[in-house]
Amino acid sequence: MTDQPSNLVTQLETLRQEAQSAIAAADCLERLEELRVAYLGKKGQLSAIMRQMGQLSSEERPQFGAIANTVKEAVQANLEDRRTKLQAARLQAKLESETIDVTMPGVFRPLGHAHPLNSTTDRIIDIFVGLGYTVATGPEIETDYYNFEALNFLPDHPARDMQDTLYLPDGNLLRTHTSNGQIHYMEDNEPPVRIVVPGRCYRRDTVDATHAAVFHQIEFFAVDEGITFTDLKGTIQIFLQEMFGDVPIRFRASYFPFTEPSAEVDVQWKGRWLEVMGCGAIDPNVLKAVGYDPEVYTGFAAGMGVERLAMVLHQIDDIRRFYSSDLRFLRQF
């Protein structure tokens, strides 16, 4: 070879030695990638030397090309070997940092459990689902129409007064019962319907041992051809037997705008009568409001307070205990 090829071969050997040293000293994959680009990239040192092949004769080029390929393969081999070692080291470091010492005692986190109001609600719903009812819900912020008018409340009914109902600035209100769920569901569904509606309700009540401004109620109702008050009594009797066992039950005549006839239901519990729900046959005006023909369809509805049932079940003397978040009280259930 002439002096020119000898000079290029010397450059290749120098590049190989420098690359080998630099690659061996690389301490991370990012640095290794920088070296690959510097030595073997399109604008790298090897490419710069290869561009000088044009100055060689046709006989010298093959010899120089073979030497250049050998250097390139050697540098690539060094890169791959170092990459493998660095990847293994990174994986090992990650495993060591994430290793769990199984000999250490675990961190104890006490498990929670259902609040007595939630467990009572679940128990009630389970009974009605077993009777073939479907669970539905209604909005807590309601219009006067769905909360009162469609349920046959007269314009001068006392429940519409500020003393009982919490009105909002836009004219809507916080629902006073879950009966609004009846109207919403019947507007969207044709008979027969059998629905249970749980939810939170709001009234302008003075808070004491038996009253709360925010409370929970469950409504159940059924509409079909040929439903009578006897069907309502049978449903309530089965429900109360599942809830309290074989206890005496009595119905007392009462009045609700959306049912006619209406009744209060009492159970004999711990030697005295306790009121647990109100009920009745759905008033024809309510059926008309949702587009049902009262000459064809009849139905019944009933509503109960979850707090009242929970107080009876667990012999709780003050409704405010449910909302105090006192763990000494809640851990009993």
List the end-to-end C-alpha distance of the chain, in Å, as a whole number. Answer: 97
Q: How far is CA 185 from CA 220, 277, 290, in A?
A: 12, 21, 9
d(CA 242, CA 22): 82
Tell me whether residue 71 is exposed, middle or buried, using C-beta atoms within 10 angstroms of its C-beta: 0 to 12, 13 to 18, 19 or more: buried
Please count the residues of the chain: 333
SS3 at position 296: coil
Beta bridge partners of 297: none
Pairing of strands 193-202, 134-135: parallel
Please tell me the predicted confidence (pLDDT) of residue 3: 58
Residue type (1 letter), 284: P
H or E segment at 14?
A: helix 3-25
d(CA 311, CA 317): 7
d(CA 32, CA 325): 60
Instruction: Please state whether the predicted TM-score (pTM) of the whole model is above 0.75.
Output: no
d(CA 307, CA 216): 7
Per-residue pLDDT of the chain (333 residues; tens, 9 = 90+): 455 667 777 887 888 888 888 888 888 888 888 888 888 888 888 788 777 777 777 777 787 778 888 888 888 888 888 889 888 888 888 887 877 777 777 788 877 788 999 999 999 999 999 999 999 999 999 999 999 999 998 887 776 675 588 899 998 999 999 999 999 999 999 999 999 999 999 988 888 887 888 999 999 999 999 999 999 999 999 999 999 888 899 999 998 889 999 999 998 877 888 888 999 999 999 999 999 999 999 999 999 999 989 888 888 888 888 888 888 888 888
Kindly tell me the sign of the dihedral angle through the C-alpha atoms of 102, 103, 109, 112: positive
Contacts (Cβ under 8 Å, ≥6 apart) of 108: none
Q: Return phi, psi of residue 55, to 5°.
A: -85, -5
Tokens of 171: 């004219």
Locus of tokens 């006897």: 230
C-beta of residue 306 within 8 angstroms of C-beta of residue 219? no
d(CA 268, CA 34): 86
Contacts (Cβ under 8 Å, ≥6 apart) of 105: none
Please tell me the predicted confidence (pLDDT) of residue 238: 94
Please tell me the predicted confidence (pLDDT) of residue 145: 93
Beta bridge partners of 249: 267
Please tell me the predicted confidence (pLDDT) of residue 5: 65
- DSSP H helices, 42-143, are 45-50, 60-98, 116-130
Please tell me the predicted confidence (pLDDT) of residue 1: 47
C-beta of residue 307 within 8 angstroms of C-beta of residue 198? no
